Structure 1
Amino acid sequence: MWPNEVIGEIRRRGIATIAGNHDLKVLNLNTTPESLSEQGKKYAYHIIDEGGRDYLKTLPAHIKLEFQLGNSKLNVVLAHGSTRKVDEYILVDTDEQYVIEMMDEAGADILFVGHSHKPYHRIINNGGLQKHVINTGSVGKPKDGDPRGCYVILTLEENSSVKESVSIKVEFRRISYDVEKAATAIENSLLPSEFADMLRDAF
């Protein structure tokens, strides 16, 4: 409902950001006066201003971070859907071997994904080593039955009691916001009213 405000705040704070499947909708979007007054789920894309569209077009598909803790090195990769496709669902029960192959391909020890909007932390044992897959959930459109926003804090610490080992802590945090205000704003806009119910019900 407020895409320009969200983009503006991300840019103001200098938050590192990756492209999601909805961000890519602006790539070949043709906005006309008619599209700005036409009801439908594409309405939110059309109200994004030119500066916001230019910014979305610059977002990377992935972010890769390398951490060195003592004698251990960990690679953390952030993707929207998966490292292969922006709209691929990597769920808590996605085939284990498929996930391992994808993470090896991306050089990821820890993989953050989204897209399903369902938070989880999955640990996969791979030849004596552990791989971690973390879905961060969603701040504005949860689909796990909890209408609060969800985000993740990852803490990495050197574990001195075990040689070449790192302690990994994943904390899911929930934040309350005025869901009804957001839902009502949707109902008073040209967006489909079903989007308001999705916020209220978190599905």
Structure 2
Amino acid sequence: MRIALFSDIHANLAAFEAMLKDMDGQNPDIIYCLGDLVGYHIYPNEIIEEIRRRKIGTLKGNHDEKIEKIKTTAESLQEPGKNYAYHLIKEENRTYLKALPAHIKLEYKLRAGLLNLMFAHGSTRRIDEYILEDTDENYVLELMEEADAHLLFVGHSHKPYHRILKTNGSSVRRVVNIGSAGKPKDGDPRGCYVMLTLEPDAEILKNCFQVEFRRFKYDVETSAEDIEKSLLPNEFAENIRNAF
């Protein structure tokens, strides 16, 4: 079983298309998006509509949730500023974002035992909580035990990592931040997503899965120029150029 996971595309169509091309070449059995389809760029509708067309299981990110608080008018579509990205979203796509779930949990019964996967945008407690590589280990373990999760996959920080947590005996607790497909913040402008491979016949639970971070190139400069030609702040263009 090969599962593709991506997050934080943030309406960056050039990155999204490059990711899908790479991802299709990996032939995943299923794809999940951990949220933040919108914000920071000018192509939210194209992103949402392709995700819906492909029937990709998707969570609500904090930027997707933000549209519920932003009222769009004819005048706001002409106003420069950070909120311009949200005003571009069609009403039918707003309805879709509002209905997205907060979490997805998968339970696999493998030869080595039960393996529970939890997907969240920020954390299992809050959509905008950062679970970083150096977040207190006891706190992260508490979250995972509360959610009954062996593997926790998150986004939100835009910084990928795979963290193994200390546990007793042969139990498995790992956290994977899958990075950002459209707005990396780790100094590498390439987009990032994760391929998770499950091995159902492995005899030891910790050997039942493999996590691969895939970095892909896309036309960063053209994407940045699209922002600069819009009513969004130019700093958004510099952020994707510099992966900050």
Q: TM-score range by the shorter chain?
A: over 0.9
Residue of 153, 164, 188 corresponding to 1:146: 188
Partner of 1:134: 176
Partner of 2:236: 195
The DSSP-based 3-state class of the residue aligned with 1:126 is coil
Structure whose CA Rg is larger: 1
8 A contact 1:69–1:166 mirrored in 2: no
For 1:99, give the aligned amino acid: V
> If each structure's helix is expressed as a fraction of its own residues, which one has the higher value?
2
Shift of residue 71 of structure 1?
4.1
The runs of at least 4 consecutive aligned structure 1 residues that moved more than 6 Å come to none
The DSSP-based 3-state class of the residue aligned with 1:7 is helix
Identity %: 61
Whole-angstrom CA distance in 2 between matches of 1:161 and 1:89 = 34
Can you give the 5+ residue segments of structure 1 that lack an aligned partner in the other structure? none
8 A contact 2:112–2:203 mirrored in 1: no
Asked if residue 100 in structure 1 is aligned to residue 141 in structure 2, the reply is yes
The DSSP-based 3-state class of the residue aligned with 2:128 is coil
Which of structures 1 and 2 has the larger relative contact order (alpha carbons within 8 angstroms, sep 6+)? 2
**Structure 1 residues 117-196: aligned runs within 5 Å:** 117-128=158-169, 129-158=171-200, 160=202, 162=204, 166-196=207-237
Asked if residue 56 in structure 1 is aligned to residue 97 in structure 2, the reply is yes
Please give the TM-score of this superposition, normalised by the length of structure 1: 0.96
Matched length:
202
The DSSP-based 3-state class of the residue aligned with 1:24 is helix
Shift of residue 193 of structure 1?
0.2
Shift of residue 127 of structure 1?
1.6
Show CA shifts across 1:67-87 (max 9, x none).
111141111000000000011
Asked if residue 5 in structure 1 is aligned to residue 46 in structure 2, the reply is yes
Whole-angstrom CA distance in 2 between matches of 1:74 and 1:167 = 9
Show CA shifts across 1:93-150 (max 9, x none).
1000000000111111100001100000000121222201000001100000111110
Partner of 2:71: 30
Asked if residue 88 in structure 1 is aligned to residue 129 in structure 2, the reply is yes
Whole-angstrom CA distance in 2 between matches of 1:36 and 1:179 = 25
Whole-angstrom CA distance in 1 between matches of 2:68 and 2:94 = 8
8 A contact 1:158–1:165 mirrored in 2: no
Shift of residue 165 of structure 1?
5.7
Asked if residue 109 in structure 1 is aligned to residue 150 in structure 2, the reply is yes
For 2:86, give the aligned amino acid: Y
8 A contact 1:159–1:165 mirrored in 2: no
Shift of residue 32 of structure 1?
1.2
Partner of 1:44: 85
